[in-house]
Amino acid sequence: MATPARDAAVVREVGIDGFFRLVHPGLRSLAFGPSGEYAATAGLGPVRIWQLSSRAEVGRLLDHGQVTNLVFAQDGRFLATGGERGINVFRWRPKDLIDEVCERLVRNLGRDDWSKLFPDEPYVATCSNLDAEPSG
């Protein structure tokens, strides 16, 4: 259960005698994911994604104008927003975003490219569906 408060949604955990706040300046909309594990808030700035068990913000959808309505898809994989820029549908879970990017790429970064972008990090092939290090 959630109750709107100024710049926050006050969430009561069912079966637990406790409350916590999802702080979002200018809060206009709140949606719960179908599993109850995640919530999304819209207000001033980007849409925010919250993991309820940790009470932590785990993601943001940037630069989508003023959002006034939110809804998760029944399977939880997509989040739809409605507002001044119309209706938009987004993948928001990190694994789904990585999978989508890897479906579109034709190669992983090579070691030279990797070392320029991430000089202090060991080389890792980002997409498991592609060769670990491209030839040529």
pLDDT, residue 54, reads: 87
Q: Which residues contact 136 (CB under 8 A, 6 or more apart)?
A: none
Q: Write phi, then psi, for 102 (nearest 5 degrees).
A: -65, -30
pLDDT in the model for residue 133? 67
Q: For residue range 30-61, list pLDDT tens digits in order.
A: 999 999 899 999 988 899 999 988 888 999 99
Note the pTM of the prediction, 2 decimals. Answer: 0.73
pLDDT score, position 109? 87
Among residues 103, 110, 113, 106, the alpha carbon closest in space to that of 132 is found at 110
pLDDT at res. 77: 92
Higher per-residue pLDDT: 72 or 2? 72
> The domain 2-91 is classified under which CATH number: 3.40.1620, 2.20.25, 2.40.50, 3.30.70?
2.20.25
Q: What is the pLDDT of residues 64-121, one digit of tens each?
A: 788 999 999 999 999 999 998 899 999 998 888 889 999 999 988 888 999 999 999 9
**CB atoms < 10 A from the CB of 39, how many?**
20
pLDDT, position 25? 82
Backbone angles phi, psi at 129, to 5 degrees: -85, 0
CB atoms within 10 A of CB 41: 25
Hey, where are the domains in the chain? Answer: 2-91, 105-136
